[in-house]
Amino acid sequence: MKQIETNGTALHVADTGPEGAPAVVFLHALGTDLRIWDGVVARLPGGLRCVRLDMRGHGLSACPPAPYAMGALVSDAEGAMEALGLSEAVVVGLSIGGMIAQGLAVKRLDLVRGLVLSNTAAKIGTPETWAQRIEAARAGGLSALADATLERWFPEPFRSGPEAALVRRLFERQPLEGWLGCAAAISGTDFYTPTAALRLPTLAIAGDRDGSTPPDLVRETAELIPGARVHLIRGAGHLPCIDAAGEYATVLAEFLREIGHSGGTA
């Protein structure tokens, strides 16, 4: 684990694997932290450098006052990658992490050689919807949003199991100010035009039980990038890195091999 100071913010980073190996950077969802990637990273083949970031206001990263701009979140990822000496990485972004990945590829194509856009879109929700959620969170904290969030994120019977209880605690324990800041960033972001200008290997991943970014929305975003393909994980929700980690890791590893970004060891 490392702490990197970038863009005026201290970011918590998990950096594993050989320093000179092909790099894969993981960006998590709103209201979670880098731990959502644990099951995927553990299943990937060896010979990769896996870098996971806690967004500002999440996990063990610093929590500046809300609201945040999407440009600041993109600059955070950019600065962290530069500090670690990364270039031509594959960036895997889920939900808001996928929005950050799109913005990063548009801004710094030298840092990004491939994209995995997971359970995300060029635009997520409406300003009105996000304003309602922000108001509810300010009034009752993240626990006031937990039931509705998990209902959007996971299908039954997963919501009744022990792993869903762990995700609920993960969500409720994130800093409220960080959630508010990043929610504001999502609300103000529309990447349809810049994402349509991207030309790089892209895999989109969707869960067919995802109530936050349904498959059609993920597919619509993938279609903006020529040559992008979509993989649908059946029975999975908004966080397939948790409720379908095995299939997620297999699909990701196949994509890395296809584009020649594999360490080549078992």
Distance CA 144, CA 108 (A): 38
Closest Cα partner for 249 from 52, 37, 93? 37
Tens digits of pLDDT across the chain (266 residues): 899 999 999 999 999 999 999 999 999 999 999 999 999 999 999 999 999 999 999 999 999 999 999 999 999 999 999 999 999 999 999 999 999 999 999 999 999 999 999 999 999 999 999 999 999 999 999 999 999 999 999 999 899 999 999 999 999 999 999 999 999 999 999 999 999 999 999 999 999 999 999 999 999 999 999 999 999 999 999 999 999 999 999 999 999 999 999 875 54
Distance CA 245, CA 163 (A): 12
Say what the pLDDT of residue 261 is.
97
CA distances from 130 to 86, 126, 157 (A): 34, 6, 27
Residue 212 contacts residue 239 (beta carbons within 8 Å): no
Show the tokens assigned to 169: 């605690």
